[in-house]
Structure 1
Amino acid sequence: MSQLLQRIALEKGTALKGETLLFIDEIQHSSKAMGLIRYFYEELPSLFVICTGSVLDVMMEEQGISFPVGRVEYLYLFPLTFAEFLSAIGEDEAALLFEQVPAPSWAHDHLMRLFRAYMVVGGMPEVVARYREGRDITLCSSVYNSLMTSFSDDVATYASGLASLQVVRRIMEVVPSQVGNRIVFNNFGNTGYRSRESANALRILERAMLLYLCYPTTATSLPLSLRYTKSPRLQFIDTGLLSFSLKLQSALLGPDDLHTIMGGMLCEHVVGQELLASSMRALEKPIFWVRESAQSSAQIDYLETDERRMIPIEVKAGSSGRLRSLHLFMEQSTGDLALRFYDGPIQLDEVSTPTDGTHYRLLSLPLYLASQAKEYAAYFAERAE
């Protein structure tokens, strides 16, 4: 280790002492370097070390690399959130308005226009940087293609020993068309692959953080328990890449109601992306709620939790009377607050379910506030106490 540190210091012309940060990018390309990470703390505890890699989980599993508890801290990096997107494209004033709780009503139309642009562009840093140059989405096509090609090329790394390269690449090709749907592994996306082949390929891509398999719960009170025997739902890495892959960017740039594009799937997806990126310290995949019975089936788009409550979230346009699944959930739940994300302004309504008259408060929030779901739930809950 001491010899390695001396070589690094010589190469960079910097003494590794005091408050020095050593940044090792794409460390997965060197299994030897990955195996040495734990010894930095033991032999030079004053040195700060950051290692990054796009397939670290896959490589560590395949090579049997692990670290003693407390030696290494993991952070998960996601595509830019809407708030980060605003800062990245120079919309600093809009970013300040977004951070206010509640956001001012007079800023709604402007923030909604910017969020629509975010749904088109997405949060991949290189794409956002290109978009900032001229606010022209056509300038980004080559970057999208490059990213999708690089993902496909990296599949060879993801697939080694666990699934054939051909299967993983084919599964990756059809994933965008299956996003938002509850899936079955057998013949996934009409690929003809058996359950085991599809499941292995999807889980490899999930460990590479190119997609997420989100499982449902049937619970209506805390604690939540996921039902892994039920069909999961797919979340893709980025809404911008998704809209590019599905050729939906023109529709998003047009006058159409966002909730009519792909049946509202993109709206649901971008809300999931914002919820997923809300914490870098824990990879907490979005959860949704289902009730499946012969008499009546129901589904809630997302469930968030905090220390005190379960927060059901629907992503839908229209009046509260159309929220049948949400009404059903609230009749069974002990909670009294539900969230609905749509393209309208902030609005709090008192609602009664049509079946048994259960009363609850429905907080309708603009889509651009999805990352602040918990903050707004807490804000309005405090004012009701």
Structure 2
Amino acid sequence: MERYVLQDLLKWKNSPYRKPLILKGVRQVGKTWVLKEFGRRYYENTAYFNFDENEEYKQFFETTKDTDRILQNLMLAGGQKILPEKTLIIFDEVQDCPKVINSMKYFCENAPQYHIACAGSLLGIALAKPASFPVGKVNFLQVDPMTFSEFLLANGDENLAAYLDSVDTLTPLPDAFFNPLYEKLKMYYVTGGMPESVLMWTQARDVDAMQTALSDIIAAYERDFAKHPQTSEFPKISMIWKSIPSQLARENKKFIYKVVKEGARAREYEDALQWLVDARLVHKIYRSSAPGLPIAAYDDLSAFKIYLVDVGLLRRLAQLAPTAFGEGNRLFTEFKGALTENFVLQSLIPQFEVTPRYWTQTNPPYEVDFLIQRGNDIFPVEVKSAANTTGRSLKKFKELFADKVKLRIRFSLDNLKLDGDVLNIPLFMADQADRLIGLALEAQGKII
């Protein structure tokens, strides 16, 4: 498989400001494979240390802060040579090893010639704890589920992926590309972007194995819920997790605690929800009152939506059968287009530094699915799970905030088109959103 994060790792390797790296991402998203593949491609050798399989390695960090002694012990224990600049050192499953994480400070200050990358499945949780942490002494990199473009590469559709990258005008795509991309996107909704699920489909075309892979990943996540330090939170985390398809099936997708459990109150469940957010298993998207900067200043902290880390996991958690793949647009429209919204958000998050928000108004009701910040501009985004769409809420948003809206964006099954200040992006081009927005602003002469 080809993962675009490998290019980010190469930039890290070649950076004159390189520090020890912490690679974050949920369980089974491919962190270990990516690091080992990176080491195989770009280093003479890789020294791999797993602190879950070999807990005794932790002792090397508990007795000393001397980086030379730590490396010497690791070489002797692992039987691997470690050379400055030439060896990639991988510390895996470090989420329960605060001394290992803390030692990155000393590697940064005293041994910068060594290339070190740390990974762990619940690092988001570990880093949220108020423990001794090497602030300013590490670089961070997030590994997200495979994008639709990466799925195309894994599926042997390099020509389609290359075509998407080559689009440099905002004109409709020929049917010869549009139609197969539309069909491949339905496949992606079924598999999602978790590498094992993608592998089961793209290599073996085994639907049952793909379903089992997703079920096993969900089961692994649910076992992780028990790792919350307070055992009383475990059932709450589980109830929130299992309520997500029901939350997204509602017309108004605002998260409501009563959907989790009748009579549930925010203060009882907010810690459990925060655990899921810190673990990056879910994305929490706040309601914004206006398109102002900084965008966080306009957050309504009492209103938010919750999406899953991956569209395939959402489909499996919702128990939607893969046979929907062959039923026209059903996958796109299923439970109020929740899969489509989840997919678009999943595609937007890696492209933009600031987490998207959403906007609503009541009486009469209007909702813009997402607000994205690109540079110092904020763009309203509407997600439609069909073709021949109209943008009632986008129109209202423009009326209210005319001086702040350079461009309105719609994701739908319509073809690529710039119509005045409305950019329609086909759903299968969601990975290209940042680049296409740049092309639209350029076409309008709004880039200075």
Instruction: Quote how far apart the aligned CAs of 1:6 are.
Output: 0.3
**Cα distance in 1 for residues equivalent to 2:208 and 2:370:** 33
* 1:230 counterpart = 2:302: yes
Distance 1:318 1:101 in 2: 21
| 2:276 is equivalent to residue 194 of structure 1 | no
Q: CA deviation at 1:288?
A: 1.0
1:255 partner letter: G
Amino acid at match of 1:285: T
Residue 124 of structure 1 corresponds to 194
| Distance across 2 between alignment mates of 1:234 and 1:203 | 11
**1:183 maps to which residue?**
255
CA drift at 1:257: 4.7
Residues 184 and 41 (structure 1), Cα distance of their counterparts in 2 relative to 1, 3 Å cut:
same
SS at match of 2:372: strand
For the residue of structure 1 that corresponds to 2:301, the secondary structure is coil
Letter in 2 for 1:77: V
Take 2:394 and 2:371, find their aligned partners in 1: how far apart are those partners?
A: 11
Which one is further off, 81-90 or 122-131? 81-90
CA distance in 2 between counterparts of 1:250 and 1:189 reads 28
* Structure 2: unaligned runs, 5 residues or longer: 1-65
Q: Distance in 1 between matches of 2:391 and 2:189?
A: 24
**Partner of 2:118 in structure 1?**
51
1:332 maps to 2:400 = yes
**Aligned counterpart for 2:316 among listed residues 213, 238, 244:** 244
Cα distance between partner residues in 1 of 2:395 and 2:294: 21
The separation in 2 between residues aligned to 1:300 and 1:241, in whole angstroms, is: 25
Greater displacement, 47-56 / 104-113: 104-113
- Structure 1 distance, partners of 2:255, 2:80, is 53
Distance in 2 of aligned mates of 1:73 and 1:285:
19
Structure 1 counterpart of 2:164, from 95, 98, 101:
98
Measured after TM superposition, the shift of residue 156 of structure 1 is 1.6
Structure 1 residues 259-274: aligned runs within 5 Å:
259-274=332-347
Deviation at 1:309, TM superposition (A): 3.0
User: How does 1:252-331 map onto structure 2 within 5 Å?
Assistant: 252-278=325-351, 282=353, 284-292=354-362, 295-307=363-375, 309-316=377-384, 317-319=386-388, 322-331=390-399
Deviation at residue 348 of structure 1 after TM alignment:
2.5
The aligned residue for residue 422 of structure 2 is: 362
Name the residue aligned to 1:215. 286
Q: Kindly state the Cα deviation for residue 63 of structure 1 after the two structures are TM-superposed.
A: 5.7
Q: Which residue identity is paired with 2:91?
A: I
When the two structures are superposed, what TM-score results if normalisation uses the length of structure 1?
Answer: 0.88
Judge conservation of contact 2:349–2:356 (CA < 8 Å) in 1.
Answer: yes
Match of residue 3 from structure 1: 69
Alpha-carbon RMSD: 2.2
Q: CA deviation at 1:51?
A: 0.4
Cα distance in 1, alignment partners of residues 116 and 347 from structure 2: 28
Question: TM (normalized to structure 2)?
Answer: 0.76
Deviation per CA, 1:40-89: give whole Å up to 9, x if none: 112211001100112113123336132132x1011111111111111222
- Provide closer, same or farther for how the CA distance between residues 148 and 259 of structure 1 changes in structure 2, counting only shifts above 3 A: closer
Note if contact 2:292-2:298 (Cα within 8 Å) is conserved in structure 1.
no
Seq. identity, %: 27
Q: Is 1:146 the counterpart of 2:216 in the alignment?
A: yes
> Does the Cα contact within 8 Å between 1:171 and 1:191 map onto a contact in 2?
no
Give the 3-state SS of the residue equivalent to 1:36 in structure 2: helix
Q: Larger deviation: 79-88 or 103-112? A: 103-112
Quote how far apart the aligned CAs of 1:97 are: 0.8
Q: Tell me, what secondary structure is at the counterpart of 2:300?
A: coil
Rounded Cα–Cα distance in structure 2 between residues aligned with 1:37 and 1:221: 38
2:159 maps to amino acid: E
- Matched with 2:242 is 173
2:146 is aligned with 1:66: no
C-alpha distance in structure 2 between counterparts of 1:82 and 1:135, whole Å: 17
**Aligned residue pair count:** 366
Contact preservation (8 Å) 1:130, 1:140:
yes
Change (3 A) 1:160 1:137: same
4+ residue runs over 4 A deviation: none
* CA positional deviation for 1:291: 2.3
Select the residue among 97, 111, 125 that pairs with 1:30.
97
Name structure 1 gaps, 5 residues minimum: 351-360
Secondary structure of 1:68's partner? coil
Mapped to 1, the partners of 2:232 and 2:281 lie a distance apart of 16
- Alignment correspondent of 1:84: 150
Listed one character per residue, the Cα deviations across residues 337-358 of structure 1 (whole Å, up to 9, x for unaligned) are 21111112112224xxxxxxxx
- Pick closer, same or farther for the CA change 1:258–1:154 going to 2, 3 Å: closer
Residue identity opposite 2:264 in structure 1: Y
More displaced stretch, 40-49 vs 58-67? 58-67
The answer to whether the 8 A contact 1:163-1:197 is kept is no
